[in-house]
Each structure stands twice: as C-alpha cells, then as structure tokens.
Amino acid sequence: MITTDILPDGPPTLRLVPMAADTNVAGDVFGGWILAQIDIAGSVVAHRRAQGRVTTVAVNAVQFHQPVLVGDLVSFYAEVTRVGRTSLTVTVDVFAERFREPHARECVRVTAATLTYVAIGKDRRPRPVPPSL
C-alpha cells in the first residue's frame, strides 16, 4: 500500500474505469470525461431526491486536485447538500484507486465539484421539488 486517501463510507454513486479512448493528448484522462461522469453521478442523486426528471442548470465549481490515469478505478460519491424550491445543489467527490503493482494500492481524491440541478416537468419547465419521502 502506498499513500492513500480514505474512501467515503457506503457505495459510490458511480464507479468505472477510464480507457485509452478517454485520454487527452498528454495521455492522462481528459477532464471532459471526468466532468461528464460527475454530471451523471450528480443527476442520479438529484433525480432520486426530486422524484423525477432533473436538468443541469449550473456547474458551480470544479477542482481537479490530481490527474486520473488510464486503468484507475474511479469512484464518484454524490450527495444532495441543498434543496431549494425547484433546484438542488449536489456535491460530487471523485476518488481514483490505482493498482500499479500487485500489492500496491493507492487511493487519491482527484476531483471535487458542486453542481445545481432543476426539477422539471414534461414541459421542461421548473417544478417544485417534493418533500423528501
């Protein structure tokens, strides 16, 4: 085991492994790929809390702390942190687990983001977020 951050308790919202096709010209994983997965993970918890369709209205903040590498096991932990009338704020923390050698596992908090989603109806217009179940 090398240096390691601690994964949050519980299962991640999304977990996957980037492939060579997801890299930038320098060979690290493209930031746009990470952002796409962040948006998906955030929408999962926002959709669950809003009990229906949501759309992304803003990516409020993103910090890329460390690079993501091809073959990393990347886990996205999303949490609703604020519920407004029709909008929801979600934070997403991203961790990469690296297995470079048979018994060397490294866990790194690579990215953190805050996004806002809006609950929308069939007409694509904002609808109130219902009380939590």
Only one of the segments 23-31, 45-53, 67-75, 79-87 lies at the binding site for ligand COA (rule: CB under 6 A); that segment is 79-87
Residues 6+ apart with CB under 8 A from 86: 118, 119, 126, 127, 128, 129
| Residue of 76, 70, 74, 75 whose CA lies nearest to 100 | 70
The answer to whether the beta carbons of residues 30 and 24 sit under 8 Å apart is: yes
Distance CA 121, CA 75 (A): 30
Distance CA 104, CA 7 (A): 16
Binding of residue 118 to ligand COA (CB under 6 A): yes
Only one of the segments 4-12, 71-79, 95-103, 113-121 lies at the binding site for ligand COA (rule: CB under 6 A); that segment is 113-121
Query: Least separation, in Å, of the C-beta of 96 and ligand COA?
Result: 25
Binding of residue 86 to ligand COA (CB under 6 A): yes
Only one of the segments 18-26, 53-61, 73-81, 103-111 lies at the binding site for ligand COA (rule: CB under 6 A); that segment is 53-61
Binding of residue 120 to ligand COA (CB under 6 A): yes
Which residues of the shown chain bind ligand COA in the complex (CB under 6 A)?
55-58, 84-87, 116, 118, 120, 124, 126
